[in-house]
């Protein structure tokens, strides 16, 4: 079986006129001024034996598949996770489980969005 990474790319707003992107895969993360730069930095750090990756680029706009409340909570938990990671402290396991569930929910929402775009009559 081929090992596959899941990579999520999120916009991170630093100030009123500036932003950057964060790419996350497991415990690894990288930043860039564009989604592509963040992805390139992350993939360079991943093991070369992992040949495949599923990449999710989230626009972070609510829709019928992933609500505004879910987006807000996901962003909040991601900020907490990044802070814990950069400070080398343990992230609350309960929050980690919630974060994983939200990431999975967004992945499923992305799949449903793609299906809707492919089959608009459904």
Question: pLDDT of the chain along its 122 residues, tens only?
Answer: 445 567 778 777 666 666 788 888 777 888 888 888 988 888 887 766 555 666 656 567 899 999 999 989 988 998 888 888 888 899 999 999 998 899 888 878 877 877 777 677 65
CA triple 65-69-74, angle to 5 deg = 90
Give the tens place of pLDDT for each residue, 46-64.
Answer: 766 555 666 656 567 899 9
CB 8 within 8 A of CB 28: no
Output the pTM of the full model: 0.59
Dihedral angle, C-alpha 42, 59, 32, 100, nearest 10 °: -40
Work out whether strand 4-13 and strand 52-57 pair parallel, antiparallel, or are unpaired.
Answer: parallel
45-72: burial string, b at 16+ Cβ within 10 Å, e else: eeeeeeeeeeebbbeeeeeeebeeebbe
CB 90 within 8 A of CB 84: yes
Contacts of 30 (CB under 8 A, 6+ apart): 22, 23, 38, 39, 41, 42, 45
CB 106 within 8 A of CB 66: yes
CA–CA distance, 113 with 93 (Å, rounded to integer): 30
């Amino acid at each position: 079986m081929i090992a596959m990474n899941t990579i999520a790319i999120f916009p991170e707003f630093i100030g009123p006129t500036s932003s950057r992107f964060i790419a996350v895969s497991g415990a690894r993360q990288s930043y860039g001024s564009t989604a592509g730069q963040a992805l390139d930095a992350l993939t360079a750090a991943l093991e070369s034996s992992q040949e495949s990756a599923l990449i999710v680029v989230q626009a972070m706009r609510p829709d019928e598949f992933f609500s505004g409340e879910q987006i807000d909570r996901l962003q909040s938990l991601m900020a907490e996770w990044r802070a814990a990671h950069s400070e080398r402290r343990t992230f609350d396991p309960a929050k980690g489980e919630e974060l994983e569930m939200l990431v999975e929910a967004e992945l499923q929402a992305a799949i449903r969005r793609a299906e809707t775009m492919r089959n608009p009559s459904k």
